[in-house]
Amino acid sequence: MRNGAYKNFMYSLGGVVASLALMITTLNVNTTCLYMAHQPKLPDSAKKLRKF
Amino acid sequence: MFTKQMENLADVLIKSEISQGQDKDVIVYGLSAGMELALNILTTVILGVMFGLVLESLIFLGSFAFIRTYAGGYHCKKAINCYLMSNGFIILVLSVIKFTPEGYMFYLGVAMLLIAIPVLLKLAPVETPSKPLDEGEQKYYYKKTVVHLGIESAVIIILFLLKQNRFSFLGCIGIALSAGLAFAQQQQKKHENV
């Protein structure tokens, strides 16, 4: 029972992390740069996230 | 900076089928950029605590990012250099805020805006080798830069009128630093093309 709850929690956490990663890549595709953080080259597959 | 670790994490997310069908590259990019962004923001807050200027450090961060995200500008080639340079700027800005007498902030702020706004209107958006901009992006980001400059300038004027010189001065520094970095990238681009 406890093990199942832990697995569910980790699964949800993974979902949040994946959503955040997607959000940040989308943000980077739709802006010239993010704050002062380093900006590596965007992967080609990220271009489909462009909103304009 | 964290690419290797983030690749391992992305592998786990993809294997567990919780990556929402996204490519590994997109997930790795988002995770690495997110980690670097979080580290930068955390360091800014820590520096704010050390200077006793937490609110000021957050206001500067907001005012700078508001323009920088569309105007673009200089980036270091290595992540660690970008991190060190960013935090060097934060230390510099917080020192300026700490030691500049409030009476001078209005005049200094106005002088900064008089130089920075024309520079940004002329140069923005500035592309980098890692983020080249096509014609559509150039137009879109220029419009966004103009709108953001208008909003931020209006907020700065209101804050000056409310005698909140310290906060409006922070906005002026944010715009001036964005203009400085846009100018630096433009100069580097010219230098590389020669």
If you measure CA to CA, which chain B residue comes closest to A47? B26
Structure confidence at residue B3 (pLDDT): 77
Q: Is the pLDDT of residue A5 over 90?
A: no
Sorting pLDDT into bands at 50, 70 and 90, what band is B114? very high
Digit-coded pLDDT (tens) for B161-187:
999 999 999 999 999 999 999 999 999
Q: What mean pLDDT is predicted for residues B31-57?
A: 94
Q: How close, in Å, is residue B40 to chain A by CA atoms?
A: 7
Interface of A with B in 23-42 (CB under 8 A): 23-25, 28, 31-42
If you measure CA to CA, which chain B residue comes closest to A34? B69
Q: Amino acid identity, residue B189?
A: K
Contact A38 B1 (CB under 8 A): yes
Digit-coded pLDDT (tens) for A14-34:
889 889 999 999 998 898 877
- Lowest mean pLDDT segment, chosen from A2-11, B90-99, B156-165, B185-194: A2-11
Q: What mean pLDDT is predicted for residues B45-65?
A: 96
B101: left (phi over 0), alpha (psi -120 to 50) or beta: beta
B16 inside 8 A of chain A by CB: yes
If you measure CA to CA, which chain B residue comes closest to A11? B18
Looking at this predicted complex, what is its ipTM?
0.86
- Lowest mean pLDDT segment, chosen from B20-24, B33-37, B78-82, B166-170: B20-24
Structure confidence at residue A1 (pLDDT): 56
Structure confidence at residue B51 (pLDDT): 97
Structure confidence at residue B77 (pLDDT): 82
Q: What mean pLDDT is predicted for residues B24-42?
A: 90
> Chain-wide mean pLDDT for chain A?
84
Beta-carbon count within 10 A of B61 CB: 22
Contact A21 B26 (CB under 8 A): yes
Contact A32 B141 (CB under 8 A): yes
Q: What mean pLDDT is predicted for residues B8-16?
A: 83
DSSP B124: P
B26 inside 8 A of chain A by CB: yes
Look at the alpha carbons of B125, B148, B177, B120 in this order and tell me if their dihedral is positive or negative: positive
Side-chain half-sphere exposure of B117, counting CA atoms within 13 A:
18
Task: Report domain extents, chain A.
Answer: 3-47
Q: Which of B70, B40, B57 is nearest to B147 (CA)?
A: B70
Q: Is the pLDDT of residue B9 over 90?
A: no
Structure confidence at residue B162 (pLDDT): 96
Q: Is the pLDDT of residue B133 over 70?
A: yes
